Amino acid sequence: MIVKILGTGAIYSKRNCASLIIDKKILFDIGPGTIKQLLKENYNLKEINTILISHLHSDHILDFPTLIVNLEVLNINHKVRVIGPVNMKEKLLKLLELMYGNYFDNFINKNFEFIEVKENNYDILCNNYKINMLKVNHEGIEAYGFIINDKLGLTGDSSICDGVKKIFSNSKIIVADCSLIKGDNYHIGFNNIEKLLKENKGKIVIATHLRDDTRELLAAKKLKNFKIVEDGYYFDV
Ligand SMILES: [Zn+2]
Ligand SMILES: [Zn+2]
């Protein structure tokens, strides 16, 4: 799988919000900056057939209406699956309605399928990609991390929890929330990642959801297999 990092920033960062795309088809989170970055990189938005949503905070979903406007202009004629937590469909469609009334109702009904997950551990096969969705702990809000094809781990926003530990042990490369130097109830910190890398030899972590001040502090830390990258970075897994 080729993974393109579209955003590495937290909500306070000057960088795009944390988001990535797998093989030009599977989008993971869709916060501010996601669509502009895809267009900047000459991606064809028509190729997107799956959208994974970690949770319903603004920095992870606000580009949804922007995507819909683009896809309608491109006249897509395939189903796009959106997979995420309960109440996702209602929230995303409310966003769209606030901005465009009912203009996109028919387009959404024809081209979108929403799958809302309640389980702690949910598996789905999507166009030959094995997607494992695990509940993680983002204080007070339903949140999920993902393992794609038993290789790529995505923590989403989470504090250290069983779901995150499983994502580390069952993936080769992990794109991990590293909002803080010292983790709290909302976010993983560098201290948590240091420990997870010690417990899971040979794994590679790509830090994301970084505040700009955290990024500067992290740049001084030297830890094997821990990478800080910029928006637009890509890798093969
Ligand atoms: Zn969040
Ligand atoms: Zn966030």
Rounded CA Rg of the chain: 17
CA of 15 to the centre of ligand 2 (A): 13
What are 164-218's pLDDT values in tens digits? 999 999 999 999 999 999 999 999 999 999 999 999 999 999 999 999 999 999 9
CA of 77 to the centre of ligand 2 (A): 31
CA of 63 to the centre of ligand 1 (A): 15
Beta strands (DSSP E) in the chain are: 2-7, 19-22, 26-28, 50-52, 80-85, 112-117, 121-126, 129-138, 141-148, 152-154, 173-177, 204-208, 226-228, 234-236
Q: Distance between CA atoms of 48 and 112, rounded to whole angstroms? A: 12
Question: DSSP label at 224?
Answer: T
Distances (CA, A) of 218 to 172, 178, 189: 22, 9, 10
Mean pLDDT calculated for residue range 54-65? 98
Q: Distance between CA atoms of 1 and 237, rounded to whole angstroms? A: 5
pLDDT confidence tier of residue 140, bands split at 50, 70 and 90 = confident
CA of 210 to the centre of ligand 2 (A): 9
- Structural tokens at position 212: 């700009």
CA of 60 to the centre of ligand 2 (A): 6
Q: Which domains does the chain have, with CATH numbers?
A: 2-236 (3.60.15.10)
Burial class, 10, CB count within 10 angstroms (exposed 0-12 / middle 13-18 / buried 19+): buried
Query: Can you give the pLDDT at residue 77?
Result: 87
CA of 11 to the centre of ligand 2 (A): 6
Given a contact cutoff of 8 angstroms between Cβ atoms, the answer to whether 136 and 164 are in contact is yes
Mean pLDDT calculated for residue range 136-158? 97
Beta bridge partners of 22: 3, 26
pLDDT confidence tier of residue 222, bands split at 50, 70 and 90 = confident
| Amino acid occupying residue 202 | G
Checking if the pLDDT of 100 tops 90, the result is yes
pTM of the full predicted structure? 0.97
